[in-house]
Structure 1
């Protein structure tokens, strides 16, 4: 399989995974490019012992983790005009969807990397748990335990948001154990 084929079939997947792993919307394009540069450099080392998407997820996980640790100094760019997508979209529906995604992102931000990885792969990307355990480098039961703990933390965070708890990361997730 060529890099071009891998990119065409998996760019949207990589984009979604990076966003759910905490890469900011303004930076996801750059980190996505880093993922495919890494794929280009390491494609000859991919042995096929795991699924291609599992391998890509491992690369995304490492780069997203590096991204979250580095300081961010991106300047905002002022748009000259309102984008067409904003003008054409039904505002209430778009706003509700954006708020729901923001709440999910905030809840995901409260998870540690191990739980977040398992939750995103299983619940959002629908990867089989055996592949997730392999990608995470842990026993299958540990992966299930992380998923259970992540679900509990996500549910608690979402309940707090529904009850009007402070937004913007002020509400910390404290339930569940660190697996």
Structure 2
């Protein structure tokens, strides 16, 4: 996909946007290596999270590029070892921007980058996996963006609430409240749309 030079709106990176467009700061060799390592280690996680945040598949590559451009512009303030939460914090904001720009809630179901063992990759198991992804996709689409961000990071990406609060730059109490409301909404959707296991014989 063609490269786009626009850096996503980010309240932390106004100076970085101007710097990246006009006179980029010369990065050190160590910073360049960190950027390359982050790209190699976290691209799939960023891409998958963007999809779960509601970015359509046709925009996911472009959105991921925005995430890493913003990350590179702020590499000097990213703490060592905290690249992943920083990237996903950016991804949450980029996804919100893309959803507003394209005015599209969802496209196709989220595709997992995890590969199932070959013994499980038979037509029946693949169909079940696809159905579950589609159900998750539909349930996530019903959540407001702010609740969805916290839910995805906590339930699907395994972040703690303090990590989420830091990544999204919100108070811990706000993150906790959003997660609780997201869980309630998610469970209500499941109760309404999916059959209860107790109904099986």
Aligned to 2:95: 64
User: 1:26 is matched with which residue?
Assistant: 58
CA contact (8 A) 1:21 1:116 kept: yes
The equivalent residue for 1:119 is 151
**Which residue is 2:130 aligned to?**
98
Specify the alignment match of 2:188 in structure 1: 156
User: 5+ residue gaps in structure 1?
Assistant: 74-87, 164-179
TM-score, structure 1 normalization:
0.73
- RMSD between superposed Cα atoms in Å: 2.6
- What is the CA–CA distance in structure 2 between the aligned matches of 1:35 and 1:118, rounded to whole Å? 18
- Inter-partner Cα distance in structure 2 for 1:9 and 1:31: 17
1:142 maps to which residue?
174
Q: Report if aligned partners of 1:103, 1:161 keep a CA contact under 8 Å in 2.
A: no
Q: Distance in 1 between matches of 2:80 and 2:168?
A: 14
Give the Cα–Cα distance (whole angstroms) in 2 for the partners of residues 129 and 158 of structure 1: 23
The reply to whether residue 53 of structure 1 matches residue 74 of structure 2 is: no
CA deviations over 1:49-100 (Å, ceiling 9, x no partner): 9922221112101111111112379xxxxxxxxxxxxxx9532222221121
TM-score, structure 2 length as denominator?
A: 0.66
